[in-house]
Structures are given as C-alpha cells and as structure tokens.
Amino acid sequence: MPKYLSMGSYTVEGIQGVLKEGGTGRRKAVQAAIEAMGGKMESYYFAFGEYDVVVISEVPDNVTAAALAIGIGSTGTVTLKTTVLLTPEELDEATKKTISFRAAGR
C-alpha cells in the first residue's frame, strides 16, 4: 500500500479543539478516519514550527488519500499538505525507466 506524509497546521478553531480533546483525542479521530478508508496510520506526532501535526499513513491509493485530505481539510480546523512517499526500492525502479524529454530552450 502506498505511504503518505501529511503535515497539518491548525487554525484557531482547530487549536481550541486540541485543547478540549487533548492530543490523544485528535490521534484517535485521525486514526479512525484513515482506518475507515481501508488504511493504517503508521505514526502521528505533534511538532513545533510550520506544521503542528505530522502523520505517516498507508492508504490504498491516491484517490483515497485525496478523499481523506479533502474531508479533513473541509472541516476548516486544519490546513493539510500531503506528500506521496517512495521507498528506496521504488526509486531504484524509477531510475531504470527511460524517458524521452526535451528540456526547455534546447
């Protein structure tokens, strides 16, 4: 199953929700949403800096990952950035593929 890195920044309303439910409450909510879509949450952390929360998950496909991002983001309590993660073996496969491409201006 593909893996995804999701990083979120809470809005004021989202931070108020964290204060009310606690960190474990938010983790349970995210885990339940991922599992309901046939996925698995690998890790969930709160962070300092640009992002407040970082999640690594496995979900069946990009469409499912998009559905999760849209559904969670539509609450207005968090802004998400989701990145597809590749294993070193997948990158090895990618480097063996030949492409035909002309660089701009050449």
What 3 state SS string does 46-76 have? Answer: ECCCCCCEEEEEECCCHHHHHHHHHHHHCCC
pLDDT of residue 22: 96
Which of the four pLDDT bands, split at 50, 70 and 90, describes residue 91? very high
Dihedral of the alpha carbons of 53, 56, 59, 62, in degrees to the nearest 10: 80
42 pLDDT above the threshold of 90:
yes
Domains along the sequence of the chain with CATH: 3-95 (3.30.70.920)
What's phi and psi for 21, nearest 5 deg? -95, -20
Q: What is the pTM of this model?
A: 0.88
